[in-house]
Amino acid sequence: MLTDRQRKIRVNKIIKLMEAAGPEHFDMNYYIRMPDEHASKSLPEAIHSCGTTACIAGFAVIASKLWETHEQRFSAYTVSDFAVGQAYLGLTYEEASHLFRSNWSANMYEAVATLKHYAETGNVEWQRDK
């Protein structure tokens, strides 16, 4: 379990990565989707490449730096983005499922607002849940 301070630090790291990449690189329908022409790049390089997108869990993988323990090429078969995101953010399975899987149409700004709410309260709650 994360302390409040750890949760805030990790959430803020994900938010900074998402905002630096921009809304065009955010897509809740894919953990990480990388076009073949960018497959040889590391995740931080690829996320800024045209066409590469990630969701909250995908950005959690990048923030956790777990990709550094794998080969340059990211493989969806070597890392469970859901499990990494869950562990990195200190979520229960139910919370992770709600954060990563319940709002496929969310844009980056909605995701950032949800992450900020989680950082402050420890509760995963999308705006549409309120």
pLDDT at 30 over 50: yes
More confident residue, 54 or 95: 95
pLDDT at 113 over 90: yes
115 pLDDT tier (thresholds 50, 70, 90): very high
pLDDT at 126 over 70: yes
pTM of the entire predicted model:
0.80
What is the C-alpha to C-alpha distance for residues 6 and 4, in angstroms, rounded to an integer? 6
Give residue limits of the domains in the chain.
4-118
The answer to whether 54 and 32 have CB atoms below 8 angstroms apart is yes
The answer to whether 31 and 55 have CB atoms below 8 angstroms apart is yes
